[in-house]
Structure 1
Amino acid sequence: MRFVPRFLVFVLALMAVPPLALAHHDHVEATNVWSRATPPGAKNGAAYMILTNDTAKADRLIDAASDVAERVEIHTHLMENGVMRMRRVEGGVDVEPGTPVVFQPGGLHIMLMGL
């Protein structure tokens, strides 16, 4: 069970740093940040949130980082030949003013690999 506490530390760190790698805007926030506890020995996990931009200009989430994972990527789910697959989002995720971006199971999420 040593992965669960470190993973939860990552989620708490996300909540403590609302802009989450959104560089130059002070009004882009990550709220409702959560994740499921990983089972013992699990090497991967995911984090979810809602990004809200209350500025007048569009922004983009281009990267994420964690001290508890070897690699962190922005992912989404895509249907390919009748099979649901997770894929890395290349180029980041737009965060438009007034339009929340929801990271949730079955959709966009922060993938944590090598826990």
Structure 2
Amino acid sequence: MKTILSLAAAATLFASAAAADIEVHHAYAIQSSPVAPAGAAFMVIMNTGDADDQLIAASSDVSARTELHTHIMEDGVAKMREVEGGFTIPAQGHHELARGADHVMFLGINEPFEDGDILHVTLTFRDAGDVEVEIPVDLGQLSNMNAMSHDEMMESEEHKMEHGSDSH
């Protein structure tokens, strides 16, 4: 566990000089299951600059395709979709890439992810350009993804009851 935390700290500090206004924190990656050829990366992207920027692409050699994805509700079912325009990182703010929301998706991974592996990922921003990040694989996070807590389920149900389901 200490190794994973050390690797996460290293990923937080690693960014190119050309993107001084962009910082990546709390990055980790998982594989969706031991037999699935897909994985995802999650992180908090900080923008310390005075203007909004846009994360417009991601790339990596760990998979056939690397895309920016989000979850949407369709007919009451959560589905992942590629996001064409990317994600806005507000000036003096942040955007979280998190499970069940926006994330970096690895499709057709070349080899199964092993706990502690380091994934080399390039995040491309409209203004800051390319930011190279090293993202540790933390398969311990996978069990957290597969099991929603009772409180989260109740919160989700309460939200549906308060706001109704979106059928547009």
Q: TM-score range by the shorter chain?
A: 0.7 to 0.9
The residue that corresponds to 2:15 in the other structure is 18
Residue-by-residue CA offset, 1:48-82 (whole Å, 9 max, x unaligned): 00000000011110000111111000001011111
The residue that corresponds to 2:92 in the other structure is 98
Alpha carbon RMSD of aligned pairs, Å?
A: 2.4
What does 1:80-99 align with in structure 2 at a 5 Å threshold? 80-99=74-93
- Counterpart contact for 2:31–2:40, Cα < 8 Å: no
TM-score by length of 2: 0.54
The residue that corresponds to 1:7 in the other structure is none
**Greater fraction of residues in strand:** 2
TM-score by length of 1: 0.76
Where in structure 1 are there 5+ consecutive unaligned residues? 1-10
Identity of aligned residues (%): 34
2:88 partner SS: strand
- Counterpart contact for 2:69–2:105, Cα < 8 Å: yes
Where in structure 2 are there 5+ consecutive unaligned residues? 1-6, 110-168
Distance 1:38 1:84, change over 3 A: closer
Distance 1:99 1:59, change over 3 A: same
Quote the Cα distance in structure 2 between the aligned partners of 1:40 and 1:31: 26
- Counterpart contact for 1:18–1:31, Cα < 8 Å: no
**Greater fraction of residues in helix:** 2
The residue that corresponds to 1:50 in the other structure is 44
- Counterpart contact for 1:45–1:113, Cα < 8 Å: yes
